[in-house]
Amino acid sequence: MTGSAEREDQALESLAALLNGAVADAIRAARGFAGGVYLRSGTPGVLRLAVLAGLPGGLFRAWWRMHVDRRFPAADAHRLGVEVLLADATETMRRYPQLAAGLPFQFGSLYVPVVGGTTSYGVLTVLRPAASDETAVLPDRERMTAVADDLGAALAELDKDGGRVRWDGEPMCVRPPVDGPSARSGGGFTWDPADGTVTVDDALWALLGIRREGFAGTPEALAHAVAHDHPDLLLSALRESAAGHPPTHPLPVRTADGALRLLQVWTSAAAPVPPYRVSGVVVDPGPESALDGAADLLPEGVFAIDRLGLITYANPRAAELLGRPRTELLGRPLWQAVPWLDRPAYEDHLRGALLAPDPVHFQVRRPGGNGSETTPGRTGGAWLTLSVYPGPGSLTCKLVPMGGVSDSAQAAAFDVRSATAGMGDAEEPGTGVPMTAPLYRPLVLAIALTEAVTARQVSEMVMRELLPAFGGRRLAIYLLQDRRLYLAWETGFPQGFLAPFDGVGLDAKLPGVEALTSGRPLFFESMQQLAAAYPGIALDAKEGSRAFLPLIASGRPVGSCILGFDRPRSFSTEERTVLTALAGLIAQALERARRYDNEAALARGLQEALLPHRLSAHPLVKTAGRYLPGTLGMDVGGDWYDVVEAGDGLALVIGDVQGHGVQAAATMGQLRSAVRAFALSDRSPDEVMSGTNRLLIDLDPGQFASCCYVRLDPVTGVARAARAGHPQPLLRHPDGRTEVLDLPGGVVLGVDPQARYPVTELVLEPDAVLALYTDGLVERPGTDIDEGVEVLRATLSRAGTPHGKPGSPSLSRAADLLTAEARQAAERPDDIALLLTTRRSPGDGGQDDSALGPPQWAVSRRPR
């Protein structure tokens, strides 16, 4: 192993240790029962769950990967740099309905950003019991914030030393911290395949009860010491881990004295290619309790699982009902030891037991058997009532055959026929077991789609929510226009593969077309099946399966959706039903997006017609204006700027109408016309503001507006300004020094008919730059508007002098510089207007705009 690889490997081990320790400290600080840490990944805009403590990772796979722009608390905490406190399920539903739909259980949660210096590394999160009063959680949040601060500082140091502070693999699933003395103990080891050496710490020798003398330091010697009964299984796990495929669950092993131990293995992927360095820990789950012997005599099936889902105890009756010997149950994950419990509906109940304090009762169906147990409505299996009782460190489970002894009123009242009504023959193929896909999947997507405004946002939501839910890797969405289907979105398909299908007519014999024209979804379990149904059709892969879904909204065809899977797979009746229902939701969202796009185009057209196409000019004054519409659906219409002749001077105007859309654009046009009329008659700034205010109140559009009006004398530089609830202007002095003006002002227009607007007199010297702007240029999510103003002030100050020449910068270049970040942003939540003004000296009329003259005077300001 090279020196750089060794350093990177050590950094990764240090990173794992830091994260594990921080999560444990956070759970203690916030008095939680589970927690984790999201870390930035190698994929821009994506966080990955690096550590999950106190919960089985497999049950929470849907939350392993998090886009930073999703409406989830962890994403908001990272993107906005704010702490998120959700005291209970009600607060979670109110603020984050997507999370509440996916985990509809009674628990609270805390999310704290992990920041080191100026770098945001991720988010620390803790799940805790629900609290009736948010103030009771505040001390916990303060302690957890301190943990996050310490972690951020440590990660910054690791980053500075060259460590790779990111996470791209699966999460490390670890046990929650145990307060006080614990019967559990453990020890660790490391195997370096590069030189074949194994390093074991003292704690592991103590746990195994053997001496380190004579240990050969090889993986074979380690396997015989740790897994005396089946060393070959441990060796296989080590080799698979070195190849980059560590086991997802702790492995049960038995030492020479027959004691049960749990082995957890992970990979330190410092080398660019396998084999990777492997680390592991061996844990003693604790001695069997004397109560276990008493539970052996109970007529009901009783078993226990820890918070990682491992079976730690099972009485003989439980082994009988589960259909596995006790030796094959202990130390194994529940869904691995009992595969028929690995169902989405059952997993949802288990998640509830892990996250909420109340017992959970539900019915499961054991496949096979002779039907001698109670099997209402079906044959070939036995219905059982499974009751799960949560505890601080484990869950106690009870199994009772339907019709047998049960103390659960909820279980006794269960009616299998009513529970399966409407499901038809929805079964897991080959088992006869009813399939109940999580009902929250359609709900989560529906909630997400309500927040999507444009067709692009709808497609992104489908990619993020629908594909992972069904294991898909490829997505294409076609929209219908003029009886042709046009490709609107694609992901996962080979580049250029879908191009020949763009713009196909409704008479084409293609599955996407026929799904739309017939209104029936088409499912192909293999590519061979697709090729047989459509001979000669181009295929993008040899293996896989495809689903073609018609997008129909209120009986109107909208388009087609194609889902692609990398492997052949069957589609159960229930999956087909859910996918068809989801296609209807997608179609409704796309139809709504199309209406939004049409109205947005109308609003933009109206606004472009109302904005000035030419600004009034004066030989001594230069102006430059910029307007950027919002990009989120209807976020257009409210902002404007103008330059108007006012007697022998010029009126500089900027304003912002509250709201967006056609109504805002129309109101803006009326206000702009009013201000122009007042300016052309050379009214004083306070009269202009008062008259416009009364006009807006008389119009009563249900909107208000902010405005800043400056009447400038080009010859003397005297400027008289009035402000109505608008952001303060900026002033760049000829020497580059820039300040935020402090102009007194009145309330926004349209609120108080008696409002007064004081006037402030300024003297704008040659080569100074006056900047008027709307709040869309300085508002940033999660930050105070004053911070945005300060950034704008510093940027205007840095606008500098072109080519090292003295004087003020070109106004055009300065305007481009001030709006550069907004123009490059993928999404602008608000529209933006900017107006820059400078004046020349009366004796300097021939100067070019690229260099507006040397600094000569300062700018004075005096109240009227």
What pLDDT does residue 489 have? Answer: 87
Measure the CA–CA gap between 425 and 432, rounded to whole angstroms. 9
Using CA atoms of 537, 538, 543, 545 in order, give the dihedral in degrees to the nearest 10.
-60
Q: Do 14 and 101 touch, CB atoms closer than 8 A?
A: no
SS3 for 21? helix
Phi–psi pair at 682, nearest 5 degrees:
60, 45
What pLDDT does residue 411 have? Answer: 37
Q: DSSP state, 118?
A: T
Q: Do 626 and 650 touch, CB atoms closer than 8 A?
A: no
The 3-class secondary structure across 589-631, one letter per residue, is: HHHHHHHHHHHHHHHHHHHHHHCCCCCCCECCEEEEEEEECCC
Answer yes or no: is pLDDT of 272 > 70. Answer: no
Look up residue 379 and give its two tokens. Answer: 């044959």
Query: To the nearest whole percent, how much of the chain has pLDDT over 90?
Result: 25
- Higher pLDDT pick, 598 / 231: 231
Q: Do 606 and 563 touch, CB atoms closer than 8 A?
A: no
Cα angle 131-132-136, degrees, rounded to a multiple of 5? 60
Which of 137-146, 556-565, 629-638, 775-784 is the least confident region? Answer: 629-638
Answer yes or no: is pLDDT of 423 > 50. Answer: no
Q: What is the pLDDT of residues 475-502, one digit of tens each?
A: 999 999 889 999 988 988 998 899 999 9
What pLDDT does residue 368 have? Answer: 67
Measure the CA–CA gap between 417 and 420, rounded to whole angstroms. 5
40-73: burial string, b at 16+ Cβ within 10 Å, e else: bbeeeeebbbbbbbbbbbbbbeebbebebebebb
SS3 for 546? strand
Look up residue 640 and give its two tokens. Answer: 């404007």
Mean pLDDT of 466-475: 79
- Higher pLDDT pick, 788 / 599: 788
Q: What is the pLDDT of residues 303-361, one digit of tens each?
A: 988 888 888 888 889 999 998 888 788 878 888 889 888 777 788 888 888 988 888 88
Look up residue 386 and give its two tokens. Answer: 């499974």
Measure the CA–CA gap between 507 and 516, rounded to whole angstroms. 11
Which of 303-312, 373-382, 706-715, 812-821 is the least confident region? Answer: 373-382
Closest CA to 801 of 733, 715, 729: 733
What pLDDT does residue 560 have? Answer: 94
What pLDDT does residue 27 have? Answer: 92
Answer yes or no: is pLDDT of 221 > 60. Answer: yes
Which of 54-68, 324-338, 600-614 is the least confident region? Answer: 600-614
Q: What is the pLDDT of residues 510-544, one digit of tens each?
A: 999 999 999 899 999 999 999 999 999 999 888 89
- Which residue reads 């103390």 in tokens? 407
Mean pLDDT of 213-224: 82
SS3 for 284? strand
What pLDDT does residue 802 have? Answer: 36
Residue 338's CB is within 10 A of a number of other CB atoms, namely: 21
Answer yes or no: is pLDDT of 434 > 50. Answer: no
What pLDDT does residue 476 have? Answer: 92
What pLDDT does residue 288 have? Answer: 47
H helices present in 96-137, as ranges: 97-102
Answer yes or no: is pLDDT of 285 > 60. Answer: yes
Residue partners of 319: CB distance under 8 A and separation at least 6: 301, 325, 326, 329
Answer yes or no: is pLDDT of 864 > 50. Answer: no
What pLDDT does residue 770 have? Answer: 94
Q: What is the pLDDT of residues 772-812, one digit of tens each?
A: 999 888 887 656 788 889 989 989 988 754 333 444 458 88
Using CA atoms of 92, 98, 103, 106 in order, give the dihedral in degrees to the nearest 10.
20
Q: What is the pLDDT of residues 745-772, one digit of tens each?
A: 999 998 888 999 999 999 898 989 999 9
Phi–psi pair at 740, nearest 5 degrees:
-90, 120
Q: What is the pLDDT of residues 435-469, one digit of tens each?
A: 333 444 556 666 667 667 777 778 877 877 777 77
Q: For 665-717, where are the E strands, in sequence order?
A: 705-712
Q: For 131-202, where are the E strands, in sequence order?
A: 172-174, 185-192, 197-200
Which of 89-93, 232-236, 636-640, 721-725 is the least confident region? Answer: 636-640
Helix, strand and coil percent figures for the chain, each rounded to 5 = 35, 25, 40
Measure the CA–CA gap between 151 and 154, rounded to whole angstroms. 5
Report if pTM > 0.95.
Answer: no
DSSP codes, 728-749: PPEEE-TTS-EEE-----BPPB
Measure the CA–CA gap between 20 and 277, rounded to whole angstroms. 19
Q: What is the mean pLDDT of the chain?
A: 79
* Long-range Cβ contacts of 322-326 (<8 Å, 24+ apart): 322/366, 322/399, 323/366, 323/368
Closest CA to 384 of 444, 447, 301: 301
Query: To the nearest whole percent, how much of the chain has pLDDT over 70?
Result: 79
> Could you tell me how far CA 595 lies from the centroid of its own chain?
27
Which of 122-126, 425-429, 642-646, 775-779 is the least confident region? Answer: 425-429
Burial class of residue 82 in the structure, from the number of CB atoms within 10 Å of its CB (0-12 exposed, 13-18 middle, 19+ buried): middle
Sign of CA dihedral 507, 513, 517, 520: positive
What pLDDT does residue 863 have? Answer: 37
